[in-house]
């Protein structure tokens, strides 16, 4: 099939090439009727304007990468979808790059900046314990989005962050459980070595217990299994099955993500027990499935849309030098649903 050129279109319309060009580029200096005819002919012949020279330049510079590490929490899918839309809307390209667990995301980022001549980066989720010196190797604007950062580490050092306060929000949930009479609250948390959101959420749990004068029982602290993908329903299911079989007493489970909480509910049901009559179950994130699950899930709802929009806004403000890096902490909401009860 031969490729149609702008000359062919001009010929078919009986106008000059410059007129076709004006029609394509929405130039004001063209008769509306002529323009309509040209556009109609273009459409009928499936002609695609050849802007390769301009586009080459564009493809070299108008690219944003989103780097996501490991975790396949559906929470991130909603964010990625908004990133896609917003980046596309700004006529930039969007490259999604998954960083392997053992890779260093900063090294990957530095390499990608060179390869793709990126204009900006979003680091999404995952651990993040790099020093300021290391982060300074990234020579393009970037935003750390929903990444658990160590207190007094990055946030206060002038890097761009969008997040919730994982400590405070986790405290809110555990405090709610305590106030509803629960004294034996199990937690499904991340591994002890984790320095990211998992750790902050665990610290919130501990502090809430302490403030409610409840004994901190190490046997009720259950970490996700390392041989199963983390933050998944399957992981929550297996950990809860082990907990139930351990005969350790508890009245509530707080899982640090909704996916884990759903797995926990399923394990409880399969053991012939009821949520919330036998055990209350609470999650964290505010996934849509929590509303449709049976029972609907008590959770901490992160303002995922606002956070995603803010991430992109912040990134483009940095690219356009409209702002300097800053952190924005969003409040999350305790959503009380059917999966927890007063005892």
Q: Site residues (CB under 8 A) for a second copy? A: 1, 46, 48, 50-52, 55, 58-59, 72, 74, 77, 81, 84-85, 88, 93-98, 107, 110-111, 114-117, 133-134, 136-137, 232-234, 237, 262-263, 265-266, 269, 288-289, 291-295
Which pair of structure tokens corresponds to residue 270?
Answer: 């399969």
Whose Cβ is closer to a second copy: residue 25's or residue 137's?
Answer: 137
* Cα 188-70-131 angle, rounded to 5 deg: 95
- The CB-of-301 to a second copy minimum distance in angstroms stands at 16
Q: Which is nearer to a second copy, 136 or 211 (CB)?
A: 136
> Is 97 in a helix, a strand, or coil?
strand
Shortest distance in whole angstroms from residue 219 CB to a second copy: 25
Q: How far is the CB of 99 from a second copy (least distance, A)?
A: 10
Q: What is d(CA 227, CA 141) in angstroms, rounded to the nearest whole number?
A: 36
Nearer to a second copy by Cβ, of 48 and 218: the residue is 48
Give the residue with the Cβ less far from a second copy, 119 or 200: 119
CB nearer to a second copy: give 114 or 342.
Answer: 114
Q: Cβ of residue 50: shortest distance to a second copy, in angstroms?
A: 7
Q: Find, among 198, 340, 216, 206, the residue nearest to 278 by Cα.
A: 340
Instruction: Give exposure, 185-215, as e/b (b: 16+ Cβ within 10 Å).
Output: bbbbbbeeebebbbbbbbebbbbbbeeeebe
- For residue 313, the minimal CB distance to a second copy (Å) is 19
In the chain, which ranges are E strands? 63-69, 93-99, 120-124, 142-145, 161-164, 185-189, 221-223, 252-255, 280-282, 299-301, 327-330, 333-335
Smallest gap, in angstroms, from Cβ of residue 204 to a second copy? Answer: 26
Min CB(250)–a second copy separation in Å = 20
The minimum distance between CB 48 and a second copy, in angstroms, equals 5
For a second copy, the closer of residues 9 and 262 by Cβ is 262
Angle between helices 6-13 and 32-44 (to 10 degrees): 120
Bridge partners, 66 (sequence order) = 96, 122
Q: What is the DSSP secondary-structure string of 44-80?
A: HTT-----HHHHHHHHHH-EEEEEEES---HHHHHHH
Task: Using DSSP, state whether 300 is helix, strand or coil.
Answer: strand
Q: Cβ distance 87 to 313 under 8 Å?
A: no
CA 224/CA 14 separation, integer angstroms: 70
- Of 108 and 209, the one with the shorter C-beta distance to a second copy is 108
Question: 29 or 44: whose CB is closer to a second copy?
Answer: 44
């Amino acid at each position: 099939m031969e490729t149609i050129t702008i000359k062919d279109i001009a010929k078919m319309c009986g106008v000059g090439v410059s007129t076709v060009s004006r029609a394509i580029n929405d130039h004001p200096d063209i008769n509306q009727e002529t323009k309509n005819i040209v556009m109609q002919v273009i459409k009928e012949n499936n002609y695609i304007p050849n802007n390769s020279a301009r586009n080459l330049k564009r493809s070299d510079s108008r690219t944003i990468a989103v780097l996501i590490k490991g975790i396949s929490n559906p929470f991130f899918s909603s964010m990625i979808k908004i990133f896609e839309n917003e980046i596309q809307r700004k006529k930039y390209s969007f490259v999604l790059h998954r960083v392997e667990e053992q890779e260093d995301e900063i090294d990957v980022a530095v390499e990608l900046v060179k390869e793709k001549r990126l204009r900006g980066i979003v680091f999404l989720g995952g651990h993040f314990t790099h020093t300021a010196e290391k982060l300074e190797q990234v020579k393009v604007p970037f935003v750390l989005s929903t990444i658990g950062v160590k207190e007094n580490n990055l946030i206060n050092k002038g890097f761009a962050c969008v997040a919730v306060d994982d400590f405070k929000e986790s405290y809110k949930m555990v405090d709610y459980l305590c106030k509803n009479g629960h004294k034996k609250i199990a937690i499904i948390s991340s591994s002890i070595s984790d320095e990211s959101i998992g750790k902050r959420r665990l610290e919130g749990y501990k502090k809430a217990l302490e403030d409610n004068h409840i004994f901190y029982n190490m046997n009720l602290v259950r970490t996700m299994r390392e041989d199963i993908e983390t933050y998944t329903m399957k992981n929550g299911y297996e950990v809860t099955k082990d907990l139930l079989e351990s005969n350790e007493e508890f009245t509530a489970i707080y899982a640090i993500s909704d996916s884990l909480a759903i797995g926990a509910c399923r394990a409880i049901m399969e053991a012939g027990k009821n949520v919330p009559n036998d055990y209350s179950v609470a999650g964290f994130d505010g996934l849509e499935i929590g509303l449709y699950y049976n029972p609907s899930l008590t959770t901490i709802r992160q303002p995922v849309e606002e956070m995603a929009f803010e991430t992109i806004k912040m990134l483009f403000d940095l690219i356009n030098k409209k702002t300097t890096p800053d952190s924005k902490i969003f409040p999350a909401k305790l959503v009380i649903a059917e999966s927890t009860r007063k005892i």
